[in-house]
Amino acid sequence: MSALVAVAPEPAAGAVLYADRWLKVDTAHAYRADGTPFAHRRVQLGPGPGAVIICLAGTKVAMVRQPRPAAGIASSLELVQGGTTDDSAGQALGNLLAETGLPEGAISSFERLGTLYPDPSMVRNQVTVWLARSAESPLTQVPDWGCCGVPEWIELDAVIASDEVVSGLTMASLHLFARQQATERQRTRRQPSDSKRAMPKREGWTK
């Protein structure tokens, strides 16, 4: 005789299924193609949206080799990224300084590139991508930041071509940067003699 398997009832929309300081799983109102409602599970990672920072020094970009045990990856080559409680420039800059050891004075500009949704099918978080520019200063692992790998400057073209880069968030952020650069080039070609035309304002700052 086969054993009876108990089936848990489906939770109602809005129910919290699990929560700790790093992870929250709850349910949201959703509808199937035929219009019937159901409770869709969703995941919130950390306390807020999160940030990815593309930090350039000339043609080089700051990268960090991170262990990613959840995916079974011993060393993942990634852009600087981290959790935040909001999408402010200040918190994103704090992540950059903490993971690279750069002094704040080394950053000459810091601007928002856009927003990404790492996995909109289930993950609730949105991630803000920032572009920082810096003088090429030594990068060091901050001793109190034991979860981080050692950061290094790598040529941007080499990063894009590298098969070591397997993080979807890093790849998507680099694509966002490439798209912004392409848009800037197109705008410049369309207006070659109008150098005084006002450029669109972006959130961030420049020294």
What is the band of 202 on the pLDDT scale with cuts at 50, 70, 90? low
d(CA 64, CA 80): 6
Contacts of 178 (CB under 8 A, 6+ apart): none
- For the stretch 116-130, pLDDT in tens is 999 999 999 999 999
Q: Could you tell me which residue, 192 or 72, shows the higher pLDDT?
A: 72
pLDDT at position 141 is 67
Structure tokens at 123: 């993950």
How much is the pLDDT for 144? 54
Give the confidence band of 47 by pLDDT, cuts at 50, 70, 90. Answer: confident
Distance CA 136, CA 190 (A): 33
Residue 30: enclosing H or E segment and its boundaries?
strand 23-31
pLDDT given for residue 96 in this prediction: 93
